[in-house]
Chain A
Amino acid sequence: MQNTIQLYRSLNDKILERIGFQEDLVSFYHLTDEGEEREFTLAEEEDSKPNVFLMNDKEGIWDPNTHNLTLRQTVSIENPLFLFGNSGVAAKDSRLGIALSWQSRTSARRGIKPILSFDGSMPAPLNAELEISFAPNLLRGSVEIDTVIFLQRPGEETGPGYATKPGTILGTLDTKTLFIDGEGSEFPIVEVEDPSKPLWWVECNWTDPLTEPFSQEYVRIYLNLKHRFNKELNIKKGIGQSPLLLEILSSSFQIIIERLKLGDDWTDIMSGQNFEKGSIGEAIYYFVNTFNWDVTSPEKLAGSIREDIYGRFGG
Protein backbone atom coordinates (compact mmCIF):
# COMPACT_ATOMS: atom_id res chain seq x y z
CA MET A 1 0.00 0.00 0.00
CA GLN A 2 2.69 2.43 0.99
CA ASN A 3 5.69 2.59 -1.24
CA THR A 4 8.02 4.42 1.11
CA ILE A 5 10.67 2.56 3.01
CA GLN A 6 9.79 2.54 6.66
CA LEU A 7 12.63 3.39 8.97
CA TYR A 8 10.90 2.09 12.05
CA ARG A 9 9.41 -1.16 13.27
CA SER A 10 5.93 -1.93 12.13
CA LEU A 11 3.45 -4.79 12.24
CA ASN A 12 4.50 -7.84 10.27
CA ASP A 13 2.86 -11.22 9.81
CA LYS A 14 4.82 -12.71 12.68
CA ILE A 15 3.70 -10.10 15.19
CA LEU A 16 0.15 -10.22 13.83
CA GLU A 17 0.01 -13.94 14.41
CA ARG A 18 1.43 -13.66 17.89
CA ILE A 19 -0.97 -10.97 19.13
CA GLY A 20 -4.02 -12.89 17.89
CA PHE A 21 -6.28 -10.32 16.26
CA GLN A 22 -9.90 -11.50 16.11
CA GLU A 23 -13.02 -9.93 14.72
CA ASP A 24 -16.76 -10.46 14.96
CA LEU A 25 -19.18 -9.84 12.13
CA VAL A 26 -19.58 -6.32 10.83
CA SER A 27 -23.01 -4.74 11.12
CA PHE A 28 -24.40 -1.82 9.16
CA TYR A 29 -26.82 0.88 10.29
CA HIS A 30 -28.32 4.12 9.09
CA LEU A 31 -30.68 6.75 10.40
CA THR A 32 -34.09 6.57 8.81
CA ASP A 33 -36.01 9.60 7.56
CA GLU A 34 -37.78 9.50 10.94
CA GLY A 35 -34.45 9.76 12.77
CA GLU A 36 -34.39 6.21 14.08
CA GLU A 37 -31.45 3.90 13.70
CA ARG A 38 -32.10 0.91 11.48
CA GLU A 39 -29.79 -2.05 10.99
CA PHE A 40 -29.70 -3.45 7.49
CA THR A 41 -28.38 -6.58 5.88
CA LEU A 42 -26.69 -6.81 2.51
CA ALA A 43 -28.37 -8.46 -0.45
CA GLU A 44 -25.50 -10.85 -0.98
CA GLU A 45 -22.71 -12.14 1.17
CA GLU A 46 -19.44 -12.51 -0.63
CA ASP A 47 -18.15 -15.72 0.89
CA SER A 48 -15.09 -15.80 -1.31
CA LYS A 49 -13.99 -12.32 -0.27
CA PRO A 50 -14.68 -11.98 3.45
CA ASN A 51 -13.71 -8.33 3.70
CA VAL A 52 -15.44 -7.05 0.61
CA PHE A 53 -18.94 -5.67 1.05
CA LEU A 54 -21.32 -4.80 -1.74
CA MET A 55 -23.49 -2.18 -0.11
CA ASN A 56 -26.86 -3.23 -1.46
CA ASP A 57 -29.44 -3.09 1.28
CA LYS A 58 -31.49 -6.29 1.04
CA GLU A 59 -34.64 -4.25 1.50
CA GLY A 60 -33.46 -1.49 -0.81
CA ILE A 61 -34.01 1.30 1.72
CA TRP A 62 -30.50 2.54 2.45
CA ASP A 63 -29.53 5.21 -0.08
CA PRO A 64 -26.07 6.83 0.07
CA ASN A 65 -27.50 10.11 -1.27
CA THR A 66 -29.85 10.66 1.62
CA HIS A 67 -28.78 8.32 4.45
CA ASN A 68 -25.70 8.18 6.59
CA LEU A 69 -23.85 4.91 7.08
CA THR A 70 -22.59 3.49 10.36
CA LEU A 71 -20.42 0.38 10.71
CA ARG A 72 -19.94 -1.46 13.96
CA GLN A 73 -17.71 -4.37 14.78
CA THR A 74 -16.25 -5.89 17.93
CA VAL A 75 -12.62 -6.88 17.64
CA SER A 76 -10.08 -8.15 20.12
CA ILE A 77 -6.37 -8.56 20.52
CA GLU A 78 -5.64 -11.68 22.55
CA ASN A 79 -2.10 -10.76 23.56
CA PRO A 80 -1.56 -7.01 23.24
CA LEU A 81 1.62 -7.30 25.31
CA PHE A 82 3.46 -8.68 22.29
CA LEU A 83 3.15 -5.27 20.65
CA PHE A 84 5.50 -3.82 23.26
CA GLY A 85 9.17 -4.30 23.84
CA ASN A 86 11.85 -6.15 21.95
CA SER A 87 9.72 -8.31 19.72
CA GLY A 88 7.01 -5.70 19.18
CA VAL A 89 6.49 -2.37 17.45
CA ALA A 90 6.95 0.08 20.35
CA ALA A 91 8.97 0.55 23.51
CA LYS A 92 7.69 -1.16 26.68
CA ASP A 93 6.49 2.05 28.32
CA SER A 94 4.88 3.62 25.27
CA ARG A 95 1.21 4.09 24.62
CA LEU A 96 -0.50 2.82 21.48
CA GLY A 97 -3.87 3.46 19.89
CA ILE A 98 -6.32 1.75 17.61
CA ALA A 99 -7.90 3.88 14.90
CA LEU A 100 -10.03 3.44 11.82
CA SER A 101 -8.41 4.98 8.77
CA TRP A 102 -10.58 5.30 5.69
CA GLN A 103 -9.78 6.23 2.12
CA SER A 104 -12.06 6.68 -0.83
CA ARG A 105 -10.24 7.70 -3.96
CA THR A 106 -13.53 7.73 -5.85
CA SER A 107 -15.02 10.28 -3.43
CA ALA A 108 -11.68 12.15 -3.22
CA ARG A 109 -11.77 11.87 0.57
CA ARG A 110 -10.00 10.18 3.45
CA GLY A 111 -10.15 10.45 7.19
CA ILE A 112 -9.20 8.81 10.47
CA LYS A 113 -11.03 8.11 13.71
CA PRO A 114 -9.19 7.11 16.89
CA ILE A 115 -11.03 4.36 18.81
CA LEU A 116 -9.05 3.74 21.98
CA SER A 117 -5.58 3.80 23.45
CA PHE A 118 -3.78 1.29 25.63
CA ASP A 119 -0.42 0.42 27.12
CA GLY A 120 1.38 -2.71 28.25
CA SER A 121 -0.41 -2.79 31.59
CA MET A 122 -3.81 -3.31 29.95
CA PRO A 123 -5.35 -6.66 30.92
CA ALA A 124 -5.62 -9.17 28.07
CA PRO A 125 -7.53 -9.69 25.92
CA LEU A 126 -8.02 -6.16 24.67
CA ASN A 127 -11.54 -5.66 23.34
CA ALA A 128 -12.50 -2.79 21.10
CA GLU A 129 -15.84 -1.68 19.79
CA LEU A 130 -15.12 -0.25 16.37
CA GLU A 131 -17.59 2.29 15.11
CA ILE A 132 -17.45 4.76 12.26
CA SER A 133 -20.11 6.87 10.58
CA PHE A 134 -20.16 8.54 7.20
CA ALA A 135 -22.40 11.52 6.51
CA PRO A 136 -25.09 11.22 3.84
CA ASN A 137 -24.06 12.24 0.35
CA LEU A 138 -20.36 11.78 1.04
CA LEU A 139 -19.29 8.39 -0.31
CA ARG A 140 -19.22 7.48 -3.96
CA GLY A 141 -17.70 4.43 -5.62
CA SER A 142 -15.79 2.53 -2.98
CA VAL A 143 -14.18 3.11 0.39
CA GLU A 144 -11.42 1.18 2.12
CA ILE A 145 -11.49 1.06 5.92
CA ASP A 146 -8.32 -0.01 7.71
CA THR A 147 -8.08 -0.89 11.38
CA VAL A 148 -4.67 0.47 12.30
CA ILE A 149 -2.34 0.61 15.28
CA PHE A 150 -0.68 3.97 15.88
CA LEU A 151 1.83 5.43 18.28
CA GLN A 152 0.06 7.69 20.71
CA ARG A 153 3.00 8.43 23.01
CA PRO A 154 6.55 7.16 22.66
CA GLY A 155 8.13 5.68 25.79
CA GLU A 156 11.03 7.07 27.75
CA GLU A 157 12.89 3.94 26.98
CA THR A 158 14.27 4.18 23.46
CA GLY A 159 15.22 1.22 21.41
CA PRO A 160 16.61 0.62 17.97
CA GLY A 161 14.08 1.27 15.24
CA TYR A 162 11.13 2.32 17.36
CA ALA A 163 9.01 5.08 15.86
CA THR A 164 9.23 8.22 17.98
CA LYS A 165 6.63 10.56 16.52
CA PRO A 166 3.13 10.45 17.97
CA GLY A 167 0.62 9.81 15.22
CA THR A 168 2.84 7.37 13.35
CA ILE A 169 0.89 4.50 11.85
CA LEU A 170 2.56 1.28 12.96
CA GLY A 171 0.57 -1.15 10.88
CA THR A 172 -2.76 -2.43 9.70
CA LEU A 173 -4.69 -5.13 11.55
CA ASP A 174 -7.46 -5.50 9.04
CA THR A 175 -8.77 -3.96 5.80
CA LYS A 176 -12.35 -3.82 4.57
CA THR A 177 -13.55 -2.61 1.19
CA LEU A 178 -17.09 -1.33 0.76
CA PHE A 179 -18.53 -0.84 -2.67
CA ILE A 180 -21.10 1.91 -2.36
CA ASP A 181 -22.25 1.94 -5.96
CA GLY A 182 -21.43 1.04 -9.51
CA GLU A 183 -19.05 -1.80 -8.64
CA GLY A 184 -19.12 -5.45 -7.82
CA SER A 185 -22.30 -7.02 -9.07
CA GLU A 186 -24.40 -3.94 -8.65
CA PHE A 187 -25.69 -2.29 -11.75
CA PRO A 188 -24.43 1.20 -12.62
CA ILE A 189 -27.62 3.21 -12.41
CA VAL A 190 -27.65 6.95 -13.02
CA GLU A 191 -30.58 9.18 -12.17
CA VAL A 192 -31.32 12.09 -14.49
CA GLU A 193 -33.95 14.81 -14.55
CA ASP A 194 -35.03 15.62 -18.07
CA PRO A 195 -38.74 15.80 -19.01
CA SER A 196 -37.87 15.56 -22.72
CA LYS A 197 -36.24 12.13 -22.40
CA PRO A 198 -37.78 8.65 -21.99
CA LEU A 199 -38.30 7.03 -18.59
CA TRP A 200 -35.18 4.92 -18.96
CA TRP A 201 -32.51 3.96 -21.43
CA VAL A 202 -29.16 2.20 -21.55
CA GLU A 203 -25.82 3.42 -22.80
CA CYS A 204 -22.97 1.11 -23.80
CA ASN A 205 -19.88 3.30 -23.96
CA TRP A 206 -17.18 0.64 -23.94
CA THR A 207 -14.59 0.08 -26.62
CA ASP A 208 -12.88 -2.90 -24.97
CA PRO A 209 -15.15 -4.90 -22.65
CA LEU A 210 -12.26 -7.18 -21.64
CA THR A 211 -10.37 -4.40 -19.89
CA GLU A 212 -12.79 -1.56 -19.25
CA PRO A 213 -14.42 -1.68 -15.83
CA PHE A 214 -18.07 -2.47 -15.24
CA SER A 215 -18.70 1.06 -14.03
CA GLN A 216 -20.69 4.16 -14.88
CA GLU A 217 -18.04 5.46 -17.24
CA TYR A 218 -18.68 2.56 -19.62
CA VAL A 219 -22.15 1.15 -18.99
CA ARG A 220 -25.10 3.08 -17.75
CA ILE A 221 -28.73 2.66 -17.13
CA TYR A 222 -30.49 5.99 -16.89
CA LEU A 223 -33.63 6.47 -14.83
CA ASN A 224 -35.42 9.70 -15.59
CA LEU A 225 -36.86 11.20 -12.42
CA LYS A 226 -38.64 13.95 -14.35
CA HIS A 227 -40.57 11.57 -16.59
CA ARG A 228 -44.33 11.61 -16.10
CA PHE A 229 -44.28 7.89 -15.16
CA ASN A 230 -41.46 8.38 -12.65
CA LYS A 231 -43.81 7.73 -9.73
CA GLU A 232 -44.48 4.24 -11.07
CA LEU A 233 -40.81 3.43 -10.56
CA ASN A 234 -41.44 3.49 -6.84
CA ILE A 235 -37.69 3.75 -6.20
CA LYS A 236 -37.97 4.76 -2.58
CA LYS A 237 -39.62 1.50 -1.52
CA GLY A 238 -36.74 -0.54 -2.93
CA ILE A 239 -36.29 -2.76 -5.89
CA GLY A 240 -38.36 -5.64 -4.54
CA GLN A 241 -41.43 -3.41 -4.46
CA SER A 242 -41.06 -2.18 -8.02
CA PRO A 243 -41.95 -4.58 -10.84
CA LEU A 244 -41.20 -1.76 -13.26
CA LEU A 245 -37.65 -1.44 -11.97
CA LEU A 246 -37.20 -5.22 -12.22
CA GLU A 247 -38.35 -5.04 -15.85
CA ILE A 248 -35.93 -2.19 -16.59
CA LEU A 249 -33.07 -4.13 -15.03
CA SER A 250 -33.93 -7.30 -16.92
CA SER A 251 -34.22 -5.49 -20.25
CA SER A 252 -31.00 -3.59 -19.62
CA PHE A 253 -29.04 -6.78 -19.00
CA GLN A 254 -30.47 -8.21 -22.15
CA ILE A 255 -29.47 -5.15 -24.18
CA ILE A 256 -25.93 -5.28 -22.80
CA ILE A 257 -25.54 -8.97 -23.52
CA GLU A 258 -26.95 -8.68 -27.04
CA ARG A 259 -24.59 -5.79 -27.66
CA LEU A 260 -21.60 -7.82 -26.40
CA LYS A 261 -22.62 -10.74 -28.60
CA LEU A 262 -22.31 -8.48 -31.65
CA GLY A 263 -18.68 -7.71 -30.76
CA ASP A 264 -15.47 -9.71 -31.18
CA ASP A 265 -14.96 -10.57 -27.53
CA TRP A 266 -18.01 -12.68 -26.82
CA THR A 267 -16.20 -16.01 -27.15
CA ASP A 268 -13.55 -14.92 -24.67
CA ILE A 269 -16.16 -13.63 -22.25
CA MET A 270 -18.18 -16.85 -22.31
CA SER A 271 -15.12 -19.03 -21.88
CA GLY A 272 -14.02 -16.91 -18.92
CA GLN A 273 -10.77 -15.95 -20.59
CA ASN A 274 -8.63 -12.90 -21.22
CA PHE A 275 -10.65 -10.39 -19.25
CA GLU A 276 -9.34 -8.28 -16.44
CA LYS A 277 -10.60 -8.21 -12.90
CA GLY A 278 -13.58 -5.89 -12.54
CA SER A 279 -14.08 -5.60 -16.30
CA ILE A 280 -17.40 -5.64 -18.13
CA GLY A 281 -16.44 -9.06 -19.48
CA GLU A 282 -15.86 -10.46 -16.00
CA ALA A 283 -19.12 -9.01 -14.66
CA ILE A 284 -21.19 -10.53 -17.45
CA TYR A 285 -19.36 -13.87 -17.20
CA TYR A 286 -20.14 -13.83 -13.48
CA PHE A 287 -23.82 -13.00 -13.93
CA VAL A 288 -24.40 -15.54 -16.67
CA ASN A 289 -22.71 -18.37 -14.80
CA THR A 290 -23.76 -17.60 -11.26
CA PHE A 291 -27.41 -16.91 -12.02
CA ASN A 292 -27.87 -19.39 -14.86
CA TRP A 293 -28.85 -16.99 -17.57
CA ASP A 294 -29.42 -18.79 -20.86
CA VAL A 295 -27.68 -16.82 -23.59
CA THR A 296 -28.36 -19.27 -26.44
CA SER A 297 -31.23 -17.21 -27.85
CA PRO A 298 -32.85 -13.82 -27.21
CA GLU A 299 -36.12 -15.35 -25.99
CA LYS A 300 -34.38 -17.80 -23.66
CA LEU A 301 -32.21 -14.99 -22.35
CA ALA A 302 -35.26 -12.80 -21.65
CA GLY A 303 -36.97 -15.65 -19.80
CA SER A 304 -34.00 -16.79 -17.73
CA ILE A 305 -32.96 -13.29 -16.67
CA ARG A 306 -36.46 -12.65 -15.35
CA GLU A 307 -36.64 -15.99 -13.57
CA ASP A 308 -33.43 -15.10 -11.78
CA ILE A 309 -34.12 -11.43 -11.03
CA TYR A 310 -37.70 -11.90 -9.89
CA GLY A 311 -36.56 -14.87 -7.83
CA ARG A 312 -33.88 -12.87 -6.08
CA PHE A 313 -35.58 -9.50 -5.64
CA GLY A 314 -39.24 -9.95 -6.42
CA GLY A 315 -40.00 -11.74 -3.15
Chain B
Amino acid sequence: MLGRLTRNEAEDVFKKWTNDGKVRLPRLSDADKLHRESLVTAESKALEELESRGLSRNKNYYLFDLLFALNLYEYLTIKNSVNEREASDDDFWRYISIKLIPDVVERRWEGLKASRFYQESRRIWVKALWWYIHLSWQGSIQSTYDILKDNTTDTVVQLVERPGSGGYRVSLTRNLMRYYGVIADEYPDKHSTEMFRKIMRLNTARTKVIEPALVDGGEQAYVKELFEYFDAKDKAI
Protein backbone atom coordinates (compact mmCIF):
# COMPACT_ATOMS: atom_id res chain seq x y z
CA MET B 1 0.00 0.00 0.00
CA LEU B 2 2.81 2.41 0.88
CA GLY B 3 6.41 3.05 -0.05
CA ARG B 4 9.49 2.09 1.89
CA LEU B 5 12.32 4.17 3.28
CA THR B 6 15.66 2.65 4.27
CA ARG B 7 17.58 3.64 7.34
CA ASN B 8 20.17 5.42 5.20
CA GLU B 9 17.55 7.40 3.33
CA ALA B 10 15.83 8.33 6.57
CA GLU B 11 19.13 9.40 8.07
CA ASP B 12 19.87 11.74 5.15
CA VAL B 13 16.51 13.45 5.48
CA PHE B 14 16.80 13.66 9.24
CA LYS B 15 20.24 15.29 9.04
CA LYS B 16 18.82 18.09 6.92
CA TRP B 17 15.99 18.60 9.39
CA THR B 18 18.41 18.72 12.30
CA ASN B 19 20.36 21.48 10.53
CA ASP B 20 17.16 23.43 9.91
CA GLY B 21 15.84 22.73 13.40
CA LYS B 22 12.50 21.43 12.12
CA VAL B 23 10.88 18.86 9.86
CA ARG B 24 9.93 19.66 6.29
CA LEU B 25 7.20 17.91 4.37
CA PRO B 26 8.34 16.35 1.11
CA ARG B 27 6.37 16.52 -2.13
CA LEU B 28 3.91 13.67 -2.17
CA SER B 29 2.13 11.75 -4.89
CA ASP B 30 -1.65 12.05 -5.01
CA ALA B 31 -2.08 8.65 -3.42
CA ASP B 32 0.31 9.55 -0.61
CA LYS B 33 -1.46 12.87 -0.08
CA LEU B 34 -4.64 10.92 0.68
CA HIS B 35 -2.79 8.65 3.11
CA ARG B 36 -1.29 11.66 4.79
CA GLU B 37 -4.66 13.35 5.09
CA SER B 38 -6.15 10.31 6.82
CA LEU B 39 -3.23 10.02 9.22
CA VAL B 40 -3.30 13.71 10.10
CA THR B 41 -7.02 13.32 10.75
CA ALA B 42 -6.12 10.45 13.10
CA GLU B 43 -4.16 13.00 15.12
CA SER B 44 -6.79 15.76 15.06
CA LYS B 45 -9.56 13.34 16.04
CA ALA B 46 -7.48 12.19 19.01
CA LEU B 47 -6.85 15.80 20.04
CA GLU B 48 -10.54 16.67 19.72
CA GLU B 49 -11.46 13.70 21.90
CA LEU B 50 -8.97 14.84 24.56
CA GLU B 51 -10.32 18.38 24.39
CA SER B 52 -13.90 17.21 24.76
CA ARG B 53 -12.84 15.66 28.07
CA GLY B 54 -11.05 18.83 29.12
CA LEU B 55 -7.64 17.22 28.75
CA SER B 56 -4.49 18.26 26.91
CA ARG B 57 -1.90 16.22 25.03
CA ASN B 58 1.16 17.30 26.98
CA LYS B 59 -0.40 16.26 30.28
CA ASN B 60 -1.95 13.04 28.96
CA TYR B 61 0.57 11.50 26.61
CA TYR B 62 -0.72 7.98 27.13
CA LEU B 63 -4.31 8.78 26.37
CA PHE B 64 -3.30 10.76 23.30
CA ASP B 65 -1.10 7.88 22.12
CA LEU B 66 -3.90 5.37 22.68
CA LEU B 67 -6.51 7.39 20.80
CA PHE B 68 -4.12 8.15 17.97
CA ALA B 69 -2.97 4.52 17.84
CA LEU B 70 -6.53 3.23 17.50
CA ASN B 71 -7.21 5.67 14.67
CA LEU B 72 -3.92 4.68 13.03
CA TYR B 73 -4.77 0.98 13.32
CA GLU B 74 -8.24 1.56 11.97
CA TYR B 75 -6.89 3.32 8.90
CA LEU B 76 -3.93 1.05 8.15
CA THR B 77 -5.25 -2.33 9.14
CA ILE B 78 -9.04 -2.30 9.11
CA LYS B 79 -9.38 -0.09 6.04
CA ASN B 80 -6.17 -0.94 4.18
CA SER B 81 -5.30 -4.48 5.36
CA VAL B 82 -1.80 -3.70 6.58
CA ASN B 83 -0.65 -6.78 8.43
CA GLU B 84 2.38 -8.26 10.17
CA ARG B 85 4.38 -8.73 6.98
CA GLU B 86 4.48 -4.97 6.48
CA ALA B 87 4.33 -4.02 10.14
CA SER B 88 7.52 -5.94 10.92
CA ASP B 89 9.37 -4.01 8.23
CA ASP B 90 11.01 -0.90 9.67
CA ASP B 91 11.24 0.62 6.20
CA PHE B 92 7.47 0.68 6.02
CA TRP B 93 7.26 2.67 9.27
CA ARG B 94 10.10 4.98 8.32
CA TYR B 95 8.14 5.93 5.24
CA ILE B 96 5.15 6.92 7.35
CA SER B 97 7.27 8.62 9.97
CA ILE B 98 9.60 10.59 7.69
CA LYS B 99 7.62 11.01 4.47
CA LEU B 100 3.95 11.11 5.39
CA ILE B 101 3.51 12.58 8.86
CA PRO B 102 6.82 13.94 10.21
CA ASP B 103 4.97 16.93 11.62
CA VAL B 104 2.68 14.69 13.67
CA VAL B 105 5.66 12.83 15.13
CA GLU B 106 7.44 16.12 15.80
CA ARG B 107 4.45 17.54 17.67
CA ARG B 108 4.09 14.43 19.82
CA TRP B 109 7.78 14.32 20.79
CA GLU B 110 8.15 18.10 20.91
CA GLY B 111 11.13 18.10 18.61
CA LEU B 112 13.39 15.91 16.54
CA LYS B 113 13.92 12.63 18.41
CA ALA B 114 15.80 10.37 16.01
CA SER B 115 14.92 7.17 17.88
CA ARG B 116 11.18 7.91 17.60
CA PHE B 117 11.32 8.86 13.93
CA TYR B 118 13.44 6.09 12.43
CA GLN B 119 16.51 5.07 14.35
CA GLU B 120 15.61 2.40 16.91
CA SER B 121 13.52 -0.43 15.57
CA ARG B 122 11.30 -0.93 18.62
CA ARG B 123 10.99 2.77 19.44
CA ILE B 124 9.82 4.10 16.10
CA TRP B 125 6.72 5.76 17.49
CA VAL B 126 4.16 4.79 14.84
CA LYS B 127 5.48 1.23 14.78
CA ALA B 128 5.35 0.79 18.56
CA LEU B 129 1.79 2.14 18.64
CA TRP B 130 0.61 -0.18 15.86
CA TRP B 131 2.03 -3.23 17.59
CA TYR B 132 0.60 -2.11 20.94
CA ILE B 133 -2.87 -2.17 19.43
CA HIS B 134 -2.24 -5.31 17.37
CA LEU B 135 -0.98 -7.26 20.39
CA SER B 136 -3.96 -6.09 22.45
CA TRP B 137 -6.67 -6.30 19.79
CA GLN B 138 -10.07 -7.47 21.10
CA GLY B 139 -11.98 -7.47 17.84
CA SER B 140 -13.12 -3.85 17.66
CA ILE B 141 -11.83 -0.35 18.31
CA GLN B 142 -14.21 0.14 21.23
CA SER B 143 -13.50 -3.14 23.01
CA THR B 144 -9.76 -2.63 22.57
CA TYR B 145 -10.01 0.90 23.93
CA ASP B 146 -11.94 -0.40 26.94
CA ILE B 147 -9.22 -2.80 28.06
CA LEU B 148 -6.36 -0.34 27.41
CA LYS B 149 -7.77 2.91 28.74
CA ASP B 150 -6.23 2.63 32.22
CA ASN B 151 -2.66 1.88 31.16
CA THR B 152 0.40 4.13 30.88
CA THR B 153 3.13 4.83 28.34
CA ASP B 154 5.22 2.32 30.27
CA THR B 155 2.70 -0.43 29.47
CA VAL B 156 3.39 0.19 25.78
CA VAL B 157 7.12 -0.15 26.38
CA GLN B 158 6.77 -3.32 28.48
CA LEU B 159 4.54 -5.03 25.95
CA VAL B 160 6.12 -3.95 22.68
CA GLU B 161 9.76 -4.03 23.71
CA ARG B 162 9.56 -7.61 25.04
CA PRO B 163 8.92 -9.72 21.96
CA GLY B 164 10.43 -12.81 23.60
CA SER B 165 12.67 -15.14 21.66
CA GLY B 166 11.54 -15.67 18.10
CA GLY B 167 8.64 -13.21 18.06
CA TYR B 168 5.34 -12.20 19.65
CA ARG B 169 2.68 -14.77 20.54
CA VAL B 170 -0.25 -12.68 19.41
CA SER B 171 -3.12 -14.71 20.84
CA LEU B 172 -1.28 -14.89 24.19
CA THR B 173 -0.69 -11.14 24.44
CA ARG B 174 -4.33 -10.50 23.55
CA ASN B 175 -5.44 -12.77 26.38
CA LEU B 176 -2.97 -11.18 28.74
CA MET B 177 -3.97 -7.60 27.90
CA ARG B 178 -7.64 -8.47 28.31
CA TYR B 179 -7.00 -9.94 31.75
CA TYR B 180 -4.95 -6.91 32.77
CA GLY B 181 -7.67 -4.59 31.45
CA VAL B 182 -10.37 -6.37 33.45
CA ILE B 183 -8.25 -6.08 36.60
CA ALA B 184 -8.23 -2.30 36.11
CA ASP B 185 -11.99 -2.27 36.44
CA GLU B 186 -12.43 -4.91 39.12
CA TYR B 187 -9.32 -4.60 41.29
CA PRO B 188 -7.93 -1.14 40.53
CA ASP B 189 -5.34 -1.36 43.33
CA LYS B 190 -3.75 -4.37 41.61
CA HIS B 191 -3.49 -2.57 38.29
CA SER B 192 -0.05 -0.98 38.36
CA THR B 193 2.90 -0.44 36.09
CA GLU B 194 5.05 -2.39 38.50
CA MET B 195 2.67 -5.33 38.47
CA PHE B 196 2.66 -5.36 34.69
CA ARG B 197 6.46 -5.35 34.55
CA LYS B 198 6.55 -8.31 36.93
CA ILE B 199 3.99 -10.21 34.85
CA MET B 200 5.92 -9.62 31.66
CA ARG B 201 9.19 -10.73 33.24
CA LEU B 202 7.61 -13.88 34.64
CA ASN B 203 6.09 -14.61 31.25
CA THR B 204 9.47 -14.31 29.54
CA ALA B 205 10.98 -16.77 32.02
CA ARG B 206 8.10 -19.26 31.76
CA THR B 207 7.89 -19.33 27.99
CA LYS B 208 11.50 -20.49 27.81
CA VAL B 209 10.27 -23.98 28.63
CA ILE B 210 6.48 -23.91 28.39
CA GLU B 211 4.17 -23.20 25.49
CA PRO B 212 1.18 -21.31 26.95
CA ALA B 213 -1.14 -22.61 24.22
CA LEU B 214 -0.39 -26.21 25.24
CA VAL B 215 -1.09 -26.06 28.98
CA ASP B 216 -4.34 -27.38 30.44
CA GLY B 217 -6.99 -24.79 29.71
CA GLY B 218 -4.78 -23.11 27.13
CA GLU B 219 -3.63 -19.52 27.12
CA GLN B 220 -6.50 -18.25 29.24
CA ALA B 221 -5.60 -20.58 32.08
CA TYR B 222 -1.93 -19.75 31.63
CA VAL B 223 -2.56 -16.00 31.91
CA LYS B 224 -4.77 -16.42 34.98
CA GLU B 225 -2.05 -18.43 36.63
CA LEU B 226 0.57 -15.74 35.83
CA PHE B 227 -1.44 -13.11 37.66
CA GLU B 228 -2.39 -15.41 40.53
CA TYR B 229 1.26 -16.30 41.07
CA PHE B 230 1.83 -12.82 42.49
CA ASP B 231 -1.41 -12.91 44.49
CA ALA B 232 -0.26 -16.06 46.23
CA LYS B 233 3.14 -14.54 46.88
CA ASP B 234 1.59 -11.40 48.35
CA LYS B 235 -0.50 -13.50 50.69
CA ALA B 236 2.48 -15.57 51.78
CA ILE B 237 4.31 -12.39 52.77
Known contacts A65-B85, A112-B213, A193-B2; can you find 5 more A-B pairs with CB under 8 A? Answer: A110-B166, A141-B88, A166-B214, A167-B215, A190-B91
Count of A residues near B, CB < 8 Å? 48
A-B contact pairs, 8 of them (CB 8 A): A4-B209, A108-B87, A111-B171, A135-B83, A138-B84, A140-B88, A141-B88, A196-B29
A109-B168, A166-B216, A226-B31 known; A137 and B208 CB under 8 Å? Answer: no
Q: What distance in Å separates the Cβ of A144 from its nearest Cβ neighbour in chain B?
A: 8
- Measured as residues with beta carbon below 8 angstroms from the partner, the interface class of chain B is 35 or more
CB atoms of B214 and A137 under 8 A apart: no
Of B3-11, B43-51, B144-152, the one contacting chain A is: B3-11
Tell whether A195 is near chain B: CB-to-CB under 8 Å: yes
Q: Which residue of B lies closest to A152 (CB)?
A: B214
The 4 A-B pairs of least Cβ separation, nearest first, read A103-B166, A167-B215, A167-B214, A110-B167
The answer for the CA separation of A131 and B1 in the assembled complex, in Å, is 31
Binding site for A on B (CB under 8 A): 2-4, 6-8, 29, 31, 81, 83-89, 91, 131, 163-171, 208-216, 222
Q: Which residues of A contact B222 (CB under 8 A)?
A: 167
Within 8 A of B (CB), among A226-246: 226
CB atoms of B169 and A111 under 8 A apart: yes
Binding site for B on A (CB under 8 A): 2, 4, 6, 64-65, 97, 99, 101, 103-112, 114, 135-141, 144, 150, 152-153, 163, 165-169, 190, 192-196, 203, 205, 216-217, 220, 226
Q: What distance in Å separates the Cβ of B94 from its nearest Cβ neighbour in chain A?
A: 12
Q: What distance in Å separates the Cβ of B201 from its nearest Cβ neighbour in chain A?
A: 14
Q: Which residues of B contact A192 (CB under 8 A)?
A: 3-4
A103-B167, A167-B210 known; A108 and B3 CB under 8 Å? Answer: no
The answer for the CA separation of A4 and B216 in the assembled complex, in Å, is 23
Q: Which residues of B contact A166 (CB under 8 A)?
A: 214-216
A99-B211, A194-B3, A205-B6 known; A107 and B85 CB under 8 Å? Answer: yes
The answer for the CA separation of A299 and B85 in the assembled complex, in Å, is 39
CB atoms of B209 and A169 under 8 A apart: yes
Q: Which residues of A contact B7 (CB under 8 A)?
A: 217
